[in-house]
Each structure stands twice: as C-alpha cells, then as structure tokens.
Amino acid sequence: VSLQTTLGDHSFTNVFMNASGVHCMTAAELDEVAASPAGTLVTKTGTLEPRTGNPEPRFAVLELGTINSMGLPNKGIDYYLDYAAAFQARHPGQTMFLSVAGMKPADFPLLAEKIQASGFTGLTEFNLSCPNVPGKPQIAYDFETTQEILTAIFKGFKKAAGVKLPPYFDLAQFDQMAALLNQYPLTFINSINSLGNGLWIDPATDTAAIRPKGGFGGIGGQYAKPIALANVRAFRQRLRADIGIIGTGGVTSGRDAYDLILCGANLVSLGSILATEGISAFTRLTAELEAEMAKQGYATPAAFRGQLKTL
C-alpha cells in the first residue's frame, strides 16, 4: 500500500499534512512536521506584519474537538518566506505550503507580489476564512469580495495557488462559489476551515471556555467531520477536474481520512487531532489509513478517490 498523491504538478509521499494554525507558528514546529511521516507541511497563516493575536485563553480542548479564537497571531510573511527558502535548500524536490491572509482586501495582492518576487517554489494557500478577527467577517462568505480579491491576486501571480474555504451549508452556496473559483487558475482548494463562531460552556462554572469575543470561536475536531465530508464532496462534483482538494475537518482515525478521500480529497490535513495528540498523530494515522486501504483492497489513494457510493 502507498499513500503517494499529487496536487497539480507536485507529488507527495503521504496524503497527510498539518492544517494551517496547528504546529506551524515557529521554525522549530515546522521542522517537527517535516521530520514526521507527513507528506508536506503548511505554515501558520502569515500577514504582511507580525501579529500577537487575541488575549488568552484562546484555545480549549472540548469533549469531541476544539474551540479557538487565536486572532491570527503569526510571525509575519517575511519569517515564513525565510523558512521556506531554508526548507527548499534542505529538502530539494519536496513541496511545502505557505498560508497567507490580508487584514484587508488590498493586502492580498501585496502578499501575492511578495511571494511572486521571492524564490518560493511551493504552493500558496490564500486563507479566505479566518473566523476570529474581531470586526472582520470571514471573506469567503462574501462572494463579491472573494471575486475582487482573486482577480487582484491573479493579475500578477503566476505560481501555484489555492484558497482555504469556510464550511458552506447550502447547495446554492456550493454552486455559486464553485462557479466563481472555476474562473481562476487555481491548483487547489482546502475545505474546510473551522466551524465559525461556536460557543462552549463549562458546566462547573457556567463560563465560556475562551476569553476573546465573549467565548465565540472556531470549532474543529469530530464536530466538523460530516460538514467537511459534504464540503469536499460538493466541491469535487462542481470544480474543474484540474483543481485538487485538500480535505480538512474531523480526522481522528485512518477511516476518517479514507472517507475524505472517498469524497475526493487529494491530501488530508490534521488540525484538532494534531493539537491534542501531538506529532505522533501522523505515525498513527498513516498506519491506520494503510490498514484500512489494505482491508478494502486499494493500493493507492487514486484507486478510490471520489468513489463514494450513493443510494
């Protein structure tokens, strides 16, 4: 059994990677993902300037997942571009991802220009779905702004790129967003970001679990799995065949990853489980996915990708 997979022209030895935001703030954390069985890695979403993010506590482990309102703390695009240059020198032939986001629409083409002018040869993930910056709506719920941002990015951006999307809940939203995305030279989408603005209450104290925004935060983990499956499936049915999909949301077992691949995922990223279990999650899930594929008689992810059966 092999977990080898591709996205555009890029090839990976394992479908698993970290989800942006988890285990990827610093060079030391990124190096740990690189040294694990993961097939690739993505940075914390970088902005034009470094940010400290929201007040703590801003992350909590819940019964079946996690809640976060980090507020986009990061070391800035220059730090992650420097990391990528060092990574490329140390790992020739391997592909990594840079995640970036603007604090306002006009920042996106500036980030794109910086990456275009650099020596970066990997894939860029434009994050259009951060739910946690007070006063800033998730961009990709606003289709007009999304279109303006993508048009501005691709005026000058010629490298491989994708977008990180929020969960959608209506088939009309899938139709509209897929039709919009199909107009651009995207290599991939990543679906889904956390379920925005959930709320958790500690019954011992009647108190919210995190401090920012009165306790509202992005929900990940097992709560997200059926929504992630539906989003990957719905986009696979609507996007151009040359646009690949990174499936993200609710993976805690090898079977969960198998299910995202059945829905059409090329790569599978780990968020909450990586945050709670640590870097050994890559070793466990790689073994579990290989065992599930062997049980089902599949030698490669391509053999069953998108092959969900319906009644």
Interface positions with ligand RRO (CB under 6 A) = 21, 45, 68-72, 127, 129-132, 193-194, 218
Spatial separation of the C-alpha atoms in residues 99 and 80, rounded to whole Å: 9
Spatial separation of the C-alpha atoms in residues 70 and 217, rounded to whole Å: 9
Q: What angle do CA 80, 85, 90 make, to 5 degrees?
A: 120
Residue of 130, 160, 281, 289 marked active site? 130
Spatial separation of the C-alpha atoms in residues 112 and 223, rounded to whole Å: 33
Closer to ligand RRO by Cβ: residue 130 or 150:
130
Distance of CA 94 to the CA centre of its chain: 18
- CB 59 → ligand RRO: shortest distance, Å? 9
DSSP type of residue 51: B
- CB 199 → ligand RRO: shortest distance, Å? 14
Query: Is 24 considered catalytic here?
Result: no
Q: What angle do CA 117, 22, 197 make, to 5 degrees?
A: 105
- Provide the terminal-to-terminal Cα distance of the chain, rounded to the nearest Å: 29
Closer to ligand RRO by Cβ: residue 150 or 262:
150
Q: What angle do CA 77, 78, 81 make, to 5 degrees?
A: 85
**Nearest residue to 288 via CA among 260, 250, 308, 258:** 258
Closer to ligand RRO by Cβ: residue 274 or 289:
274
DSSP type of residue 40: B
Paired with 247 in beta bridges are: 191, 268
- CB 195 → ligand RRO: shortest distance, Å? 9
For the annotated catalytic residues, the residue numbers are 130
